[in-house]
Amino acid sequence: MVAILVAVIVVAVILSGHRGHQANAEPVPEPDDDHKSPIRGAIPSNFPDPSLYYEKGTWYAFATTNAAGVLDYPDDSNNASRYTLDFGLANIQMATSSNFADWNLASLADQPLPATGNWTMGAHHKTDKPHISSTWAPAVIKRADGKFVMYYAAIPRGANPYPHRENDGKISFPHPHPHCVGAAVSTGTSPAGPYEALDDYLACPKPEGGAIDPEVMRDADGKIWVTYKVDGNNIGHGGPCGNTVQPILPTPIMLQQMEDDGVTKVGDPVQILQNNNSDGPLIEAPMLIRSPEGVYFLFYSSGCTRENTYVVKYATSRDIKGPYTRAKGTLLKTGDWGLEAPGSIGIVEDGQDGWNMAFHARVNYGQVGRVRAMFTTKLKFDDTKVTMVRDDSTIRAS
């Protein structure tokens, strides 16, 4: 099964590795007729941390910049820009689909977030090239006035706040510069934007490691809630993802209520989940929804995104503020349907009383390296349980 999947992905990479905008990938093969895979390949290039939005017959997928998190990067750095559309140039990636099967990547000219907020560094912290973005994990919601709010994580201005080391006259920083969470508002009434960023951040707990992975949901009563992760492993004591050497630092999931404008906070954030010994270095990438039965499902990733320990889990509650009870086992893990390191999901209602999900997983992307490609599935809820089901409602274009 794994070998077949790799072969299919390699073919998809070869066909899509040019600088066109089509992002089609072959569907993940089925083991047999009795055990059809619920997973579908969607975007084979680097499309990390996907979030979803649906409106008027169009699916929108938003993702972290395509320069982020590539493993086994080739010695020839020109390969990345040669084989990837606008490599590292767009702050946020966007793709659209009319059937949730065939996806088209937006060009640089149509990127939804042309500039991050004045509070951000506006460049990648590991290079002197100002055009390389380090913007992560976007998510959008529609306001009552028809405009949209986008949440994202970026690097704040200023020097790295964490202690540095000096060796032979050279200064090094053992901990990366933190990210913080900001917001932007669309200039019009399209989810595609463009979005104008706010001048100040929404959440920036630098002493705790920063904040990343914002997501947003509107509850049944109309209230807007933003979730994010406090990035404690960013200042951890070492090991995979920086936080497997004792003492393990907390990486809590936080919940922040917002005003109807989506950019004004209501009170202080509350912690709704904390990492434990079963999570390895962290929990992150929260995705909070309310099921048709009124159960709150908090999906999250644990393990390390750079290793096969990365998995998707979930917890449930009858109250949006918790307490949340962890489900037994995982929703997705390495080896399921040939996937490697699946995680960081986005979920949205499909407009037909169903739920669609996107997530990333590691694949080899030709001359670029091992990237986080986008895959999709559908979800079925039953009280406090959720299962992935095959999507036969959409037909891939010929």
% of the chain with per-residue pLDDT over 70? 82
Lowest mean pLDDT among 77-81, 258-262, 295-299, 389-393: 77-81
The residue length of the chain stands at 398
- What whole-number distance in Å separates Cα of residue 15 and Cα of residue 11? 6
Lowest mean pLDDT among 165-169, 242-246, 288-292: 165-169
Residue 34 has pLDDT above 50, yes or no: no
Taken in order of first residue, the domains within the chain and their CATH numbers are 2-389 (2.115.10.20)
**Which amino acid is residue 241, in one-letter code?**
C
Using CA atoms, how far residue 356 sits from 22, 239, 297, 368, 388, in Å, is 21, 35, 14, 29, 9
Model pLDDT, residue 353: 74
pLDDT, one tens digit per residue, over 352-391 is 778 999 999 999 988 788 999 999 999 999 999 999 998 8
pLDDT, one tens digit per residue, over 103-133 is 999 999 999 999 999 999 875 444 444 456 7
Specify whether the backbone of 308 is left (phi greater than 0), alpha (psi in -120 to 50) or beta: alpha
Which one, of 9, 17, 137, 2, lies nearest residue 65 by Cα?
Answer: 137
| Angle of CA points 133, 182, 120, to nearest 5° | 45
Give the residues across from 252 on adjacent strands.
Answer: none
- What whole-number distance in Å separates Cα of residue 372 and Cα of residue 48? 5
**Which amino acid is residue 299, in one-letter code?**
F
% of the chain with per-residue pLDDT over 90? 72
